[in-house]
Amino acid sequence: MKSMKLYTNVQRIHNELAALGIGLDAALRVDQLTPFDQYHYFGTEAVDEALEVLQLQPGSRVLDVGSGIGGPARYIAAKTGAHVTALELQPDLDEVARDLTARCGLSSRVAHVCGNILDGAAAENYDAVISFLCFLHIPERPKLFAACRAALKPGGVMYIEDFGKSRPVSADEAKALLVKVQCAGLPGKAEYESHLVAAGFGDVSISDVTASWKDFTASRLAMFRAARARGIEVHGREIVDDLDDFYATVAQLFHDGAIAGLKIVAR
Ligand SMILES: C[S@@+](CC[C@H](N)C(=O)[O-])C[C@H]1O[C@@H](n2cnc3c(N)ncnc32)[C@H](O)[C@@H]1O
């Protein structure tokens, strides 16, 4: 996983907070973190779109698969009063996530679990499963979707943002995807749908958002480069170079039409 440079030096969020004058033990608000803790596209705007679909209530139970440093989980818990289980594979991300959640006073509403969705989710009573840009890392789709299906209550809903296949990729693109994005292969839209249906999801809708993700990844890279000097001041050159490499790789893949962006609702 650490060959994907978004996932190295994840403590860098503390550098951003320090630049705002916020110390390591200070209490935090969710809105102070959201510019830095959303590891997907369009930040909380994308999470709000999910919330429109999910219609969560205070006390609803949500499983966030591949929760990163906990950005979407905290935002959802704070905004809706839902209880979110934040399942994250990588221990260092999970540790940063737990600390930030505690400092936001949200530990009673966000439960952090360090583990692999392929090992099965803890409970079978979630109203909703959400997953932002995690499934691209998991080639075993039948096993993945069976675990998600098993985690849901009857009538539950799963909301996914993920990469999909847009065309056959070149050898160089496949290597960039594998090494720098930890993505061994992607399903096309029809294959995605058939995997979900085979796992027991009866009502599946998939929207193609490739054009907006192409624009987002291009402007993320341009903005990051425009702020390079400040980035080096805050984080040091190594972190800035690592993130530049990751952002550039993804922007190039979208620019060249090598991958698609998909939003999926499966009931
Ligand atoms: C691009 S990040 C997105 C994080 C978060 N969803 C967000 O939007 O801020 C994807 C996350 O999925 C996690 N992940 C990948 N495979 C996983 C698995 N099998 N089980 C649980 N988490 C996984 C990665 O470790 C990574 O933190």
Secondary structure class of 58 (helix, strand, coil): coil
Question: Taking a C-beta distance cutoff of 8 angstroms, is the pair 127, 153 a contact?
Answer: yes
Instruction: Provide CATH code, domain 5-167+186-212+259-266.
Output: 3.40.50.150
CA distance readout (Å), 194 to 81, 144, 186: 34, 13, 14
Q: How much of the chain is helix, strand and coil, in % rounded to 5?
A: 50, 20, 30
pLDDT at position 153, please? 94
List the chain pLDDT tens, one digit each, 267 residues. Answer: 888 999 989 999 999 999 999 999 999 999 999 999 999 999 999 999 999 999 999 999 999 999 999 999 999 999 999 999 999 999 999 999 999 999 999 999 999 999 999 998 666 799 999 999 999 999 999 999 999 999 999 999 999 999 999 999 999 999 999 999 999 999 999 999 999 999 999 999 999 999 999 999 999 999 999 999 999 999 999 999 999 999 999 999 999 999 999 999 999
Strands 152-165 and 126-132: parallel
Domain ranges of the chain: 5-167+186-212+259-266
pLDDT at position 120, please? 81
Mutate to test the pocket of ligand 1, among 9, 75, 89, 145 (most ligand atoms within 8 A of CB): 89
- Tell me, in angstroms, the distance from the centre of ligand 1 to residue 88's CA: 6
Global confidence as pTM: 0.97
Query: Would you put residue 141 in left (φ > 0), alpha (ψ -120 to 50) or beta?
Result: alpha
pLDDT at position 36, please? 97
- Tell me, in angstroms, the distance from the centre of ligand 1 to residue 163's CA: 13
pLDDT at position 1, please? 86
pLDDT at position 13, please? 97
Helix (H) or strand (E) holding 175: helix 171-175
Q: Can you tell me the distance from the alpha carbon of 235 to that of 19, in angstroms, rounded to the nearest whole number?
A: 10
Q: Can you tell me the distance from the alpha carbon of 113 to that of 119, in angstroms, rounded to the nearest whole number?
A: 12
- Tell me, in angstroms, the distance from the centre of ligand 1 to residue 132's CA: 8
CA distance readout (Å), 205 to 79, 98, 196: 25, 33, 10
Q: Can you tell me the distance from the alpha carbon of 207 to that of 12, in angstroms, rounded to the nearest whole number?
A: 33
- Exposed / middle / buried, residue 223 (Cβ in 10 Å: 0-12, 13-18, 19+): exposed
First vs last C-alpha separation in the chain: 30
Number of the ligand 1 atom closest to the C-alpha atom of 64: 6
